[in-house]
Amino acid sequence: MDKVIAQHYSWEEFVEKISVDEYDDGEDMSPLLEELAGLHEHPFNLNTATKDDLEQLPFLDADEIEEILAYVYRYGPMQSLGELMLIEELDYQTRQFLALFVYVENPVEEKEKLRLKTLLKGGRHEVTSRLDVPLYKRDGYQIPEDEVLLKNPNKVYLGNSLYHNIRYTYQYRNRLFWGFTAEKDAGEPFGSYGNMAYDAYSFHFLLKDCGKLKALALGDYRVGFGEGLVVNSDFSLGKSTLFNMGDTRPSIKKFSSTSETSFFRGMAVTFRFGKVDVSAFYSYLPTDATLRKDGTVSSLKTDGLHRTLLELSKKHNVMEQSAGADVTWNTEYFSLGATAFYQHFSRSFSKGTELYRQYYPEGKDFLNASLHYRWHRDRFSFSGETAFSNVYGGWATLNKAIYRFNHRYSVVALQRLFAYQYVGLRANSFSEGGAVRNESGFYMGVEAAPLNELKLSAYVDYFYFPWVKFGIPHASEGVEGTFQADWVVSRKWELSGRYQLKRKERYGQPYLYHKLKVQAQCMPSKVWEWRGVARYTRVRDVYGRHVGGYMGGSILKWKDRKNRLNVAGSCVYFDSEDYKAPMSFYEPSLLYAFAFMTMYGQGMRAAVNARWNVAKHWMLMCKYGATGYFDRDEIGEGLQRIGGRWKNDLSFLLRYKF
């Protein structure tokens, strides 16, 4: 039985490759990365994988999934992951990514029927607990004098500075999942101010592929249909992955993240009747919101933080009820579906008087409906969705076409038009402005692999905002272009480079920035790995001033030959003139935790992360990090201010599997 996942890429490099550039633009990818970390820890058998299984991996497009399934069907079970090299549609990087999430073994044992006894005793339990201990004190934890506190009760955090979570999960292969999560953020009260111990709790249950029942979810779950123009609580990789951006695969999935947004709470089900999938879901979810003086909703609060009396007053003050359905007809080359989604809030939304908010949500009830479609034949595929909303009568459409000349050369084009009258509170799709509203654009991308060891990719995205935006009292536009090269020099060395140019308006003036990133990786032996990265950013701000910054850092990793102990150390120096040109760096961190350090000014960051497989069932992880600034005597401001130029922290994670 070959369960050994022979991989060249480490988990940390995978995370950095798919996400660091999206973090630069403010995209929170933590929920997606938590989900992928779970798949990495619990890989599935490639010989018995279904289309639904492979669609969980966002770096695989529809053509690649079809070719993997076709290979196993034609030639029988794979004997090793090395056979992935025989699938021409999979390039080197995709094969390495895939090896992080799959294994191969004899599929005979997979054919047994699903029995209750097997479900309850044949799976794997996992309990993890994480604790973060800051070795510094922010102003929010300093208790002010009574007179000051009476005048401003929000001058202090209600809880201590520790972060803590606990998770329990059960998984039977890729068929049954359940578990719960409890979390307390730093500064949140524990067991007081209305909290039953932790501030946030989550429970999930998911059963898959049981006769005509394709999926049944209870508790917290995620759904996504079409291209995400109506409802999508799933996650995507944005512009960085050319051939599956904007691609929301119809699905119902468990939600096991510590994130406190982007999920539903209730029940969801999908039945498969021949070629037709019928899905329905209902959710009743308490939601955080910022209220106006008249009690109407100004905006929904999505950070999940409840550290002060003001933040606590926004907790769960609006109830969201939602229900939806989707019917999709699938054939070998074509699929057509219809989605309807209804939301009711216990309080009315108020759009306010500002001009840029004129077409913001208003009222308690919102209805969206759409048609989504997909056609694929040979080297060409086309997919899209067109949606309508009852508020203001707005509509939105997104369409994408891909053509593959062969397994080395491909081109993709994407068009979107989101009317400024369109309102989709649960919509989440490919966009520049971060919302499915007030945007049109055209994206063109190409990928080329002239050599087996060399991959080139580039894209250009033009976007236009027809209605006014915050700080821009007129229609505006922008353009973004990126070129990237990945070169496998040898079995031990890899090089990559990425250049990005972006122009858009801010506060009525053009804003231009350049980003350059180069990276080298070396694996001199099976136990040592080194990676070095350098970044340079130059920005022309709205006043015509040029500011810039640079960063250089490296990561050194070691593991013993039995893989019981892994140690990773990282160090980075950064020098940025202004917060407008921040430097980003990904460093190895704890399981299910992702450390994307965004820094500006002059200073350095160093961290050491260790993972020790203590025994068969126990694993312990520890991390120590230190950030120092050379150009200031304090860090941050307000309640987050630290009275010194150094910030040190400790983190621990303990896992028990049985």
pLDDT score recorded for residue 111: 46
pLDDT confidence tier of residue 3, bands split at 50, 70 and 90: very low
CA pair distance 188, 261, nearest whole angstrom: 17
Task: Output the pLDDT for position 49.
Answer: 86
For 56, which DSSP code?
A: T
Token digits of residue 608: 């050491």
Contact 123, 171 (CB under 8 A): yes
Q: Are 238 and 445 in contact (CB under 8 A)?
A: no
At 7 the pLDDT is 45
pLDDT digits (tens, 9 = 90+) for 510-544: 789 899 999 999 988 889 999 999 999 999 877 77
Q: Identify the pLDDT of residue 579.
A: 83
| E-state strands within 135-212 | 163-172, 176-184, 200-210
Identify which has the larger pLDDT, 593 or 653: 653
Residue keyed to tokens 């669609």: 55
Q: Alpha carbon 587 to chain centroid distance? A: 17
Per-residue model confidence as pLDDT tens digits over 54-65: 888 888 877 788
pLDDT of residue 73: 86
Residue-wise pLDDT for 266-313, tens only, equals 999 999 999 999 999 999 999 999 999 999 999 999 999 999 999 999
Q: What is the mean pLDDT of the segment spanning 450-468?
A: 93
**Closest-CA residue to 92 (of 532, 487, 482, 402):** 487
Residue 71 burial (CB count, 10 A): 18
Task: Give the position of tokens 């997909």.
Answer: 374
The pLDDT score that the predictor gives to residue 108 is 54
The rounded distance, in Å, linking the Cα atoms of 437 and 424 is: 8
3-state SS of the chain: helix, strand, coil percent to 5? 15, 50, 35
Q: How many Å apart are CA 496 and CA 508, to the nearest integer?
A: 36
3-state secondary structure of 34: helix
pLDDT for residue 56: 82
Separation of alpha carbons 388 and 550, rounded Å? 45
Rounded Cα distance, 291 and 345, in Å? 13
Here the tokens at position 298 are 């100004």
Cα(654)–Cα(151) distance, rounded to whole angstroms? 42
Contacts of 334 (CB under 8 A, 6+ apart): 373, 374, 375, 376
The per-residue pLDDT for 126 is 94
Q: Helix, strand, or coil here: 32?
A: helix
In which band, very low, low, confident or very high, does the pLDDT at 110 lie, cut at 50, 70 and 90? very low
Angle of helix 11-24 relative to helix 30-41, nearest 10 degrees?
Answer: 170
pLDDT digits (tens, 9 = 90+) for 425-443: 999 999 998 899 999 999 9
Q: How far apart are CA 361 and CA 262, in angstroms?
A: 18
pLDDT for position 463 = 96
How crowded is the C-beta side of 523, counted as CA atoms within 13 Å?
Answer: 14
User: What is the Cα–Cα distance from 120 to 311, expressed in whole angstroms?
Assistant: 41
What is the DSSP code (8-state) at residue 579? T
Lowest mean pLDDT among 49-53, 199-203, 473-477: 49-53
User: What does the mean pLDDT of the chain come to?
Assistant: 88
pLDDT tens digits for 340-392? Answer: 999 999 999 999 889 999 999 999 999 999 999 999 888 899 999 999 999 99
Q: Residue 97 in 3-state DSSP? A: helix
SS3 390: coil
What pLDDT was estimated at residue 248? 57
Pairing label, strands 476-488, 454-465: antiparallel
Reduce the DSSP state of residue 632 to 3 states and report it. Answer: coil
For residue 12, pLDDT beyond 90: no
- Contact present, 446 and 414 (Cβ < 8 Å): no
**134 pLDDT more than 90:** yes
**First and final CA of the chain: distance in angstroms?**
21
Give percent of the chain above pLDDT 90: 60
Asked which of 174-183, 227-236, 625-634 is least confident by mean pLDDT, the reply is: 227-236
Q: Is the pLDDT of residue 24 over 60?
A: no
Spatial distance between the Cα atoms of 444 and 459, rounded to a whole number of angstroms: 6
**Could you read off the pLDDT of 201-246 as tens digits, one per residue?**
999 999 998 889 999 999 999 999 999 999 998 766 667 666 655 4
